[in-house]
Chain A
Amino acid sequence: QSALTQPRSVSGSPGQSVAISCTGTSRDVGGYNYVSWYQQHPGKAPKLMVYDVNKRPSGVPDRFSGSKSGNTASLTISGLQAEDEADYYCCSYAVTYYVFGTGTKVTVL
């Protein structure tokens, strides 16, 4: 049940693309196509942005996309906007538990 590894921070200018990695093991990320990504603004509850590796809930802009290769999942934000500045967490299903990533702060320069 060790936390998934994410970079502490990433940054980009408006309009640019940024990618956040999420590294786990074959027991979690690598074992299932059930990685989700959450956006959290300060003082707010998390919001689901991507689920099942690359699916977007209704209402989430298509600027947000997910992928996975082996034990590492990624969230890409294209056409970065000011409102995308937030903390982002990945999460993997592992049958009898879930494990979150360490979190990444996205800064819009």
Chain B
Amino acid sequence: EVQLVESGGGLVQPGGSLRLSCAASGFTFSNYWMTWVRQAPGKGLEWVANINEDGSQKYYVDSVKGRFTISRDNAKNSLFLQMNSLRGEDTAVYYCARTEGETAGNYWGQGTLVTVSS
């Protein structure tokens, strides 16, 4: 059974940093692109970033370029999102998802809440 479990969310002040993790199991992690998607409170889904199988290709939504870094550790079946220079508008539930073909997410984690506030 495919499982994705996010962690690392919490309350952080504007300008601060946070590192999200996503632990994957039930599939061969190194064979898949992976994606982060976020959802601000009461708002819609927003694609944030994705990374290819070996970590050599990374893409970001314009609003996080230069502030967020997606990475992965295939030996530990883990996906990460390093978030720096956080802003209020980054407040959201962050989901990790397994990408298959050109579908952003065919399996999703339960999400982790990031709150940026003073």
Name the interface size band of chain B: 20 to 34
Say how far A24's CB is from chain B's closest CB, in angstroms: 13
- In whole angstroms, how far apart are the Cα atoms of A34 and B100 in the complex? 11
List residues 38-73 of chain B with CB under 8 A from any CB of chain A: 44-47, 50, 59-62
By a CB distance below 8 angstroms, the chain B residues around A103 are 44-45
- In whole angstroms, how far apart are the Cα atoms of A47 and B105 in the complex? 9
How many Cβ-Cβ contacts under 8 Å join chain A to chain B?
62
- In whole angstroms, how far apart are the Cα atoms of A62 and B105 in the complex? 20
B61 touches A1 (CB 8 A): yes
List residues 82-118 of chain B with CB under 8 A from any CB of chain A: 95, 101-111
List residues 50-104 of chain A with CB under 8 A from any CB of chain B: 51-52, 57, 89, 91, 93, 96-103
List residues 1-60 of chain B with CB under 8 A from any CB of chain A: 35, 37, 44-47, 50, 59-60
Interface residues of A (CB under 8 A from B): 1, 3, 32, 34, 36, 38, 40, 45-48, 51-52, 57, 89, 91, 93, 96-103
Interface residues of B (CB under 8 A from A): 35, 37, 44-47, 50, 59-62, 95, 101-111
